[in-house]
Amino acid sequence: MQKRQERLQKIISAHGAASRRKAEQMIIDGRVCVNGTPATIGQSAEFGLDLITIDGKPLCAEDEHVYLMLNKPRGYITTISDDRGRKTVMSLVADVGKRIYPVGRLDMNSEGLLLFTNDGAFSNRITHPSYQKKKTYEVEVYGDVRNAVSSLQQPIEIDNRLIQAVSVELAKVTSSGGEIRITIVEGRNRQVRKMCAVCGVKVRSLRRISVGELELGDLKIGKWRYLRDEELKAIL
């Protein structure tokens, strides 16, 4: 049977040792070796045939993959660590007891559904554009909400790229604005906020309520729970 080689950063990520970006930095820093020789960016190997070590320790599969969702509050940044001392989402899942990392991102002033895992293949399945995972947001805005909904339903140019929401619904109208429900697939940095700004409304609050087939439901803000087996099967 033909041997199957893969890029080192993909192998490291798939076995829960680090995200692909972090794995690349590990390789650059000389922390990764293959069969006793320092690895290089772009190098491939076969897990189980080649001896892959990180800081001198063999790369092993995680005993158990972990999948969970957090209802992220405002004021936390979506990163593993921060050199500016800001609060990160990792402090909210510190009691999980395993090394995990966030899947995708929510900006500091946004809240709602954020996934975590130690399974690189799962993370890629959720975040890679080719899988077209829909993400739905409830957005409270100031301004002419009716006109904004009409504009948001059309193609919009953001950062020199033409994008279009999957769906846009007017959920509520108030004296100062209202609430819009927006579903997208691109997930670019601060995309929903930028879309609203282009369409003439200012975001008051933004909450993600679903990713693919996963729904936030009644999970309390700041709390997390493991994904159920049926949820994993549905999203994969």
**Is there a common fold for 6-58 and 67-130+214-235?**
no
Give 124's Cβ-side CA count (13 Å radius): 15
The per-residue pLDDT for 1 is: 39
The whole-angstrom separation of Cα 104 and Cα 70 is 13
Hey, what CATH topology would domain 67-130+214-235 get? Alpha-Beta Plaits (3.30.70)
Q: Is 79 exposed, middle or buried (0-12, 13-18, 19+ CB in 10 A)?
A: middle
- Answer whether residue 2 shows pLDDT above 60: no
**pLDDT at position 179, please?**
98
Helix (H, G, I), strand (E, B) or coil at 140: strand
pLDDT confidence bin for 25, thresholds 50/70/90: very high
3-state helix, strand and coil shares in percent for the chain, rounded to the nearest 5: 25, 35, 45
User: With bands split at pLDDT 50, 70 and 90, how would you rate the model's confidence at 43?
Assistant: very high
CA distances, 232 to each of 101, 115, 166, 226 (Å) = 17, 12, 23, 10
What mean pLDDT comes out for the span 206-235? 95
What percentage of residues in the chain have a pLDDT greater than 70? Answer: 97
Beta strand pairing call for 6-7 and 101-103: unpaired
In the predicted structure, residue 228 carries a pLDDT above the cut 70: yes
Residue 146 CB neighbours (<10 A): 11
pLDDT of residue 61 exceeding 70: no
User: 135 is written with which tokens?
Assistant: 């993400």
Per-residue pLDDT, averaged over 68-73, amounts to: 98
Instruction: Please name the fold of domain 134-211.
Output: Alpha-Beta Plaits (3.30.70)
DSSP-based three-state secondary structure for 168? strand
**pTM score of the predicted model:** 0.75
**CA-wise closest residue to 70 among 106, 16, 44:** 106
Q: What's the token pair of residue 56?
A: 């001198």
Residue 15 — very low, low, confident or very high, per pLDDT cuts 50/70/90?
confident
Q: Which of 29, 50, 107, 144 is catalytic?
A: 107
- Span 154-160, average pLDDT: 92
Domain boundaries, the chain: 6-58, 67-130+214-235, 134-211
Mean per-residue pLDDT for 142-164? Answer: 94
| Confidence label for 44 from pLDDT (cuts 50, 70 and 90) | very high
Between CA 198 and CA 66 the distance in angstroms is: 39
CATH architecture for residues 6-58: Roll (3.10)
Would you place residue 56 in the very low, low, confident or very high pLDDT band (cuts 50, 70, 90)?
A: confident
For residue 234, the surrounding DSSP H or E stretch is: helix 229-235
Retrieve residue 225's tokens: 């729970």
107 classed as catalytic: yes
Write down the pLDDT at residue 146: 96
Phi-psi region of 34 (alpha: psi -120 to 50; beta: other; left: phi over 0): beta
Whole-angstrom Cα distance, residue 141 to residue 193? 10
Is the pLDDT at 231 greater than 70? The verdict is yes
Q: If you count DSSP H runs as helices and E runs as strands, how many of each does the chain have, helices first?
A: 6, 17
Q: What is the DSSP letter of 84?
A: T
- 176 vs 160: CA distance, rounded Å: 30
